[in-house]
Structure formats: structure tokens, C-alpha cells
């Protein structure tokens, strides 16, 4: 009898599964977004209006929303005029559609100005995500926004009355190309990252959220910033965490959370019954990540839960210390157990160092990522059986070839005094271990397999503490080309990335790259076949591949470069001072008449030169205006000004608001 009942239960479960599958198939929809990526003017912190990358003439950019099982189609037109672009849909696995993942020179060619590109993929993961540019550090200029996948079968759907989306972000008054030029400069050999000018909640500094007493709200929160982590708390309210990075969790109570760049967290807030006061929502930048703290920086932003709009909006109370919830203690809702011992273990040591051009670069195992000439996915698709050989992807993409269904372990040793939020494309990873700050390398610890949790926390982005280490594990069950990188955008640009090429031979059998993807390669002059150097005959011939600057001569250090630079500047200044005093002395001994004549002659020459320069500048501005009107169809209110001739069109970077 018991056996019969068990069989009936099993049959019932199968029927329910097929019924739910049929329902979801019927309900699945195609959700289409048409995005014209343009420059717009914005002033979100009220302190400085600047050119910002918007969509369809608007900023903040639209959120993307769909239901689990839906097909999302995003049609992109790049109307920036002076920069290439791409879109990455952060946290989505892109199962079977790795060509839609978005990083330039990894899964696609950058989309040049005037070109079109279509992203087309099906979403099978519920949760809180975001999308952003993945080209040349571009997203801090505004091309980033939330992406929400709703789940009709959400296990917590009966626990709240309403959903709210909350983004937190750092904000810069200067555009990324200018900031990046100074960051990657011989005048910044220690690699001090640009410090943001402010912090935003929902892209403003004046956020108010009306709440009703007794109601419970699900907040979907995303750190869409480029650099610092953010401490978040709601005065007078506790949070109940239900999801991180698209992974449902067992409910966990928290008073404060910490979100590194790119991390997400969904939590419940229940409004109290007392309507006599409004309550601050506080986001505070992690200033320990800054090399220097500008004296005028306000590193906090305050929003408010508004119970009564007639009451004041109070300033936040002071706190004694930050004490955020430890995300390593979270337990996934599905209770997925620890993956088995790894088939492949990869150790990555993080260091920062100065190269021969005097700039500071970021390294995994002494390799600083340098984009290939051919996007890595296109190399995997065009090199036949050689695609299983990591050499064809070039030395500086730092590529690891993974076999299908391998258990892969990543050990990251942070030999650096800064925090790093590490993100894996195409997967969630199990977070097996995170050391304390200053614990050194994992190899020097006494941690063994037996010390790992049996039900590890899972997510796609994890913060690694200074001079500490982490151990991650995932199953290589998603053929594709996937990046693993620090999500501090300055570190992405300085090379803190590695590439996982997963089951490339399987990929060749199943994947079809659309024609419009090849079209943008052709439009941008980017080769779409061959090894990392674009060689299609001898696939192991990497001559001509893109390379980083040469190493420094032996004995040079960042501090030594700083000392050398300032010594040279001091010497130049000293020579200039001596020359100036000598010139003044000569003038004093010259006859008055001759001195007057010399002054008159000098003034006339200077005036003529100034007049010539002004005329040239006016002609240049006029030409720029005319060129911009031609490129923008006669409108748009944005002036594009070249600041030097680059190798490609998208290197013309400076934009001014008219």
C-alpha cells in the first residue's frame, strides 16, 4: 500500500510539473525594447550638469522587465556619434546564447556609431539584475539601469504587498574618458582610483518613498555604481533578506547591508503603525576604498520613507560603526549542496603594478588583460579543433579552457590592500570560503574541504577583503565565453580580468552568430575570424596580437617613479625660475627707450598671436558645430569635440553640453 501511495505521489508531482511547464509556455511572451543610445544633459546631484549617456533621449534610462520564460529582444542603435558601445545583461546566464552576453572583444565586436545590433535571449532566472555598457569603462557615464525578471512562482509572493526598485550609485562630474586618461597615466603610478563626487539613490539625491502603515514592501536593490561599496540602512526599520544576485535565500534579518559594485539584494521592509514621523534611508560610500578623501566630499546620501508628507524629512542619526550583515551566512532557498571536489582548480593572485609606460595596471598571475584583435567567442567559433587549445586566445586574454560539466574551483588571493567585488559571467558560483582581512593567501591557511559549508551561499558577485582570499566553485554546464573580473570599473580598464572558454567544441556545434553581429565587426574594422591576433592560417602564430606595455626596468617601483617625476618637475621649475630672474635682470639694465620699444613690439606680437589663435579657435568651434549638426541630424543640443586623433573612431571622446 505504501509503495502504491508513493507511486501516486510521484505521478502527481510529474503531472504538476508538466502542467506548470505547459502554463509557462502558454504565458511566455516576447518583450521588445527599441533603444536609441544618445547623449543627453543631466544634473542628478544638483551640483553640475554634464553630458550623460541616455536612451531614447532620456536619462535615467528605462528599466527592463519581463517574466520568467519570456523572450527579451533589445534593438540597439548607437547614436552617440563619438563612442562605440555594447550592453551586458548582468547576472543572466544567457544559456545557449553566449553571443548575447555583451562584453566588447569577448562575445561581440563593439557597436560603432551609427550601427545597429539586436540582443535576443530567453530568460529562465527570476530575480534582480541590471544591464550596463561593457565597453571602455563607459557605464559610469550613465548607461546602466535595473533589469527585473518576475516569477509567478516566487516562494515569498504572499509575504509582501508591493515591489519597489531601489538603485544606489556613485556619480562623477567628469566623463569617463577624461577620468580614465588621468587614472591610466604616468602621473598616477600608484593607481589611485578617481573618487566620485557624490552618491545617488534612484539617480537623485532627493528620493522620497511614500509608504502606508502596516504594509510590507519588497525592495529590489542594485548597486549600479562603478567603484565603492555602499552601506545601506533604513532608520527605524529592519530588513528581511530574501534574495541576492538572483538566488532566493532563506529569510534572514539585517539592520544594515553592504553592496559591492554590481551586487544586488532583495529584502522586505514592513511599515510601522506610527505615522508621526518620516524615516531616513541612508547609503554611505565605503571610503576605505579611496586613496584620498577629498575634504568637500559628502560620501552619504539620504532618502526617506514618507509616512506623512506634512511632516519634516529628518537628517539621519549618527552611528558609531558600520556593522553590515555577513552575506556568507545566507542559505539558498533550494538548499543546493556543496559541489564535489574540483576537476580543475584555478588560482588567481591579484596584484597591482606599474609597467613601462609609467601607468599602474592590475594583474591576475602577472597577466594584465589586453583585448584581442578578434573577439574571443569568434576565435572559439572559427578555429576548429584548435579552439580547445588556450594558446589560440592569446596570452593576454588570460583564457582557461573548461570541459563541459567540469567542477571548477577558483581561488583568488588578494595581494593588494583594497577591496574587490569579483563577478563571474554565465554562472552563479558557490561561495565556499572568504578569509578575514589581512589573512594572506589561501595556500597559507589551514582550511580544508571539510571546513566548507555543506549548503554554501550562491551569487554572481562577491567582495574580497584586503589582503585576503576567497574560494568559489561552479559547474561548467553552460558552453560559452565568460569573463571573471573585478567589477570596479577602473580595475576592469586596468586589466583585472580572466576569460573562461567553456566547452568550445560543443559551442561550435550548437551556436549560430547572427549576421548583424558580423556587420558591426565589419563596420568597425574588427576581424571576426582567426586567433587573438587575427591569424587564420597558423593558429598558433600570435605575431601582431595586442600586448600591454613592456615591464619596467629592474629596480623601478611606483614610489620610485613618483620620486623621479617630482624630481624632474622640481628641476624644470628650478630652471624656469633661474631663467625668469635672469630675464628680469636683463630688463632692468636695458635703456628705457629700448625697453619701451621691446615691450611695444612684444605686446604687438602677442596681440597678433592671440588674434590668430582666437580666429583659429572660432573656426574650429564653427566646424565642430557644423559637423555635429550633420552627425546628429541637425539637433540634439550636444557638441562633439575631438581631443586628438585616435586609431579608431570611438576614441574621440570629449563631449560638451551646448
Cβ atoms of 534 and 508 closer than 8 Å? no
The H or E element containing residue 587 is helix 558-589
| ∠ CA 474-480-482, rounded to 5° | 60
Residue 173, CA distances (Å) to 176, 256, 387 in order: 9, 29, 44
Cell numbers that stand for 39 in this block = 547623449
In the DSSP assignment, the letter for residue 521 is: H
What is the spatial distance between Cα 110 and Cα 129, in angstroms, rounded to a whole number?
A: 22
Cα 375–Cα 381–Cα 385 angle in degrees, nearest 5: 125
Q: Residue 351 corresponds to which cell in the numbers above?
A: 596584484
What is the predicted pLDDT for the residue at 572?
60
Answer yes or no: are the C-beta atoms of 142 and 121 closer than 8 Å.
Answer: no
Q: In what order do the strands lie in the sheet with 257-259?
A: 208-210, 300-306, 279-285, 230-234, 257-259
pLDDT digits (tens, 9 = 90+) for 226-282: 999 999 999 999 999 999 999 999 999 999 999 999 999 999 999 999 899 999 999
Rounded Cα–Cα distance for residues 364 and 398 (Å): 8
- Sort 603 into a burial class: Cβ within 10 Å, 0-12 / 13-18 / 19+: exposed
Position 597 scores a pLDDT of: 33
Overall pTM surpassing 0.95 (yes/no): no
Q: How far is CA 256 from CA 54, 237, 241, 290, in A?
A: 32, 10, 11, 21
Q: Can you give the pLDDT at residue 555?
A: 59
Confidence (pLDDT) at 27 = 74
Residue 344 CB neighbours (<10 A) = 14
Instruction: Tell me how far apart the alpha carbons of residues 273 and 208 are, in angstroms, rounded to a whole number.
Output: 18
pLDDT in the model for residue 419: 99
pLDDT in tens, 303-324: 999 999 999 999 999 999 999 9
**CB within 8 A of 642, min separation 6: which ones?**
624, 652, 654
Q: In sequence order, what are the residues at sequence separation of 6 or more whose Cβ sits closer than 8 angstroms to the Cβ of residue 384?
A: 508
Q: Give the model's pLDDT for residue 332.
A: 99
For residues 149-188, one letter each, b for 16 or more C-beta atoms within 10 angstroms of the residue's C-beta and e for the rest, the string is bebeebebeeebeeeebbbbbbbbeebbbebbeebbebeb
- Residue 163: all three cell numbers together: 515591489
Query: For every residue of 252-267, which 3-state class applies, written as one string?
Result: EEECCEEECCCCEEEE
Residue 592 has a pLDDT of: 31
Distances (CA, A) of 419 to 134, 290, 308, 468, 485: 21, 10, 40, 9, 13
What are the chain's domains? 22-155 (2.60.40.420), 160-332 (2.60.40.420), 344-524 (2.60.40.420), 599-658 (no CATH)
Give the chain's length.
658
Residues of the chain with confidence (pLDDT) below 50: 1-26, 558-560, 562-564, 566-567, 577-578, 580-654, 656-658
Amino acid at each position: 500500500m505504501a509503495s502504491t501511495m508513493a507511486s501516486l505521489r510521484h505521478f502527481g508531482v510529474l503531472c504538476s510539473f508538466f502542467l506548470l511547464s505547459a502554463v509557462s509556455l502558454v504565458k511566455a511572451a516576447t518583450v521588445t525594447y527599441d533603444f536609441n543610445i544618445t547623449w543627453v544633459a543631466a544634473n542628478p546631484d544638483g551640483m553640475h550638469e554634464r553630458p550623460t549617456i541616455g536612451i531614447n533621449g532620456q536619462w535615467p534610462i528605462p528599466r527592463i522587465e519581463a517574466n520568467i520564460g519570456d523572450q527579451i529582444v533589445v534593438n540597439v542603435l548607437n547614436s552617440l556619434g563619438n563612442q562605440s558601445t555594447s550592453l551586458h545583461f548582468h547576472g543572466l546566464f544567457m544559456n545557449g546564447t553566449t553571443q548575447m552576453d555583451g562584453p566588447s572583444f569577448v562575445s561581440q565586436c563593439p557597436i560603432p556609431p551609427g550601427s545597429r545590433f539586436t540582443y535576443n535571449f530567453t530568460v529562465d532566472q527570476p530575480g534582480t539584475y541590471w544591464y550596463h555598457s561593457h565597453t571602455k569603462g563607459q557605464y559610469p557615464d550613465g548607461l546602466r539601469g535595473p533589469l527585473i525578471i518576475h516569477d509567478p512562482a516566487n516562494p515569498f509572493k504572499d509575504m509582501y504587498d508591493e515591489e519597489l526598485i531601489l538603485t544606489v550609485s556613485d556619480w562623477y562630474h567628469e566623463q569617463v574618458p577624461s577620468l580614465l586618461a588621468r587614472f591610466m597615466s604616468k602621473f598616477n603610478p600608484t593607481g589611485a582610483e578617481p573618487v566620485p563626487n557624490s552618491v545617488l539613490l534612484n539617480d537623485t539625491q532627493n528620493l522620497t518613498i511614500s509608504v502606508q502603515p502596516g504594509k510590507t514592501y519588497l525592495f529590489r536593490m542594485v548597486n549600479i555604481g562603478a567603484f565603492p561599496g555602499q552601506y545601506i540602512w533604513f532608520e527605524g526599520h529592519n530588513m528581511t533578506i530574501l534574495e541576492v544576485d538572483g538566488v532566493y535565500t532563506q529569510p534572514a534579518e539585517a539592520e544594515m547591508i553592504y553592496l559591492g559594485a554590481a551586487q544586488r539584494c532583495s529584502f522586505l521592509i514592513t511599515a510601522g503603525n506610527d505615522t508621526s514621523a518620516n524615516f531616513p534611508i541612508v547609503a554611505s560610500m565605503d571610503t576605505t576604498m579611496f586613496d584620498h578623501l577629498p575634504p568637500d566630499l559628502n560620501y552619504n546620501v539620504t532618502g526617506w520613507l514618507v509616512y506623512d508628507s506634512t511632516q519634516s524629512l529628518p537628517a539621519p542619526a549618527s552611528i558609531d560603526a558600520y556593522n553590515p550583515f555577513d552575506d556568507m551566512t545566507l542559505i539558498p532557498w533550494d538548499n543546493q549542496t556543496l559541489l564535489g571536489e574540483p576537476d580543475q582548480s584555478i588560482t588567481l593572485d591579484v596584484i597591482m603594478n606599474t609597467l613601462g609606460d609609467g601607468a599602474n595596471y592590475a594583474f591576475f598571475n602577472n597577466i594584465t588583460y589586453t583585448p584581442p584583435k578578434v573577439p574571443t567567442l569568434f576565435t572559439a567559433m572559427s578555429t576548429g579543433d584548435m579552439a580547445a587549445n588556450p594558446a589560440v586566445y592569446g596570452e593576454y586574454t588570460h583564457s582557461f579552457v573548461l570541459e563541459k560539466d567540469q567542477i571548477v574551483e577558483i581561488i583568488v588571493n588578494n595581494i593588494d590592500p583594497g577591496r574587490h567585488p569579483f563577478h563571474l559571467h554565465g554562472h552563479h558560483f558557490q561561495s565556499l570560503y572568504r578569509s578575514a582581512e589581512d589573512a594572506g593567501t589561501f595556500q597559507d591557511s589551514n582550511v580544508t574541504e571539510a571546513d566548507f559549508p555543506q549548503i554554501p551561499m550562491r551569487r554572481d558577485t562577491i567582495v574580497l577583503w584586503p589582503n585576503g582570499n576567497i574560494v568559489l566553485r561552479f559547474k561548467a554546464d553552460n558552453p560559452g565565453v565568460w569573463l571573471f573580473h573585478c567589477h570596479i570599473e577602473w580595475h576592469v580598464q586596468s586589466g583585472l580580468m580572466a576569460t573562461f572558454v567553456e566547452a568550445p567544441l560543443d559551442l561550435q556545434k550548437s551556436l549560430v552568430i547572427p549576421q548583424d553581429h558580423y556587420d558591426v565587426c565589419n563596420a568597425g574594422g574588427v576581424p571576426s575570424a582567426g586567433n587573438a591576433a587575427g591569424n587564420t592560417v597558423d593558429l598558433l602564430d600570435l605575431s601582431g596580437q595586442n600586448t600591454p606595455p613592456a615591464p619596467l626596468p629592474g629596480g623601478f617601483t611606483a614610489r620610485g617613479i613618483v620620486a623621479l617625476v617630482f624630481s624632474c618637475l622640481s628641476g624644470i621649475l628650478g630652471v624656469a625660475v633661474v631663467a625668469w630672474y635672469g630675464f628680469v635682470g636683463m630688463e632692468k639694465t636695458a635703456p628705457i627707450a629700448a625697453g619701451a620699444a621691446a615691450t611695444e613690439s612684444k605686446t604687438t606680437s602677442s596681440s597678433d598671436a592671440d588674434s590668430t589663435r582666437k580666429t583659429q579657435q572660432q573656426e574650429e568651434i564653427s566646424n565642430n558645430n557644423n559637423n555635429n549638426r550633420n552627425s546628429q541630424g541637425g539637433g540634439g543640443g550636444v557638441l562633439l569635440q575631438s581631443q586628438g586623433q585616435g586609431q579608431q573612431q570611438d576614441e574621440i571622446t570629449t563631449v560638451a553640453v551646448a
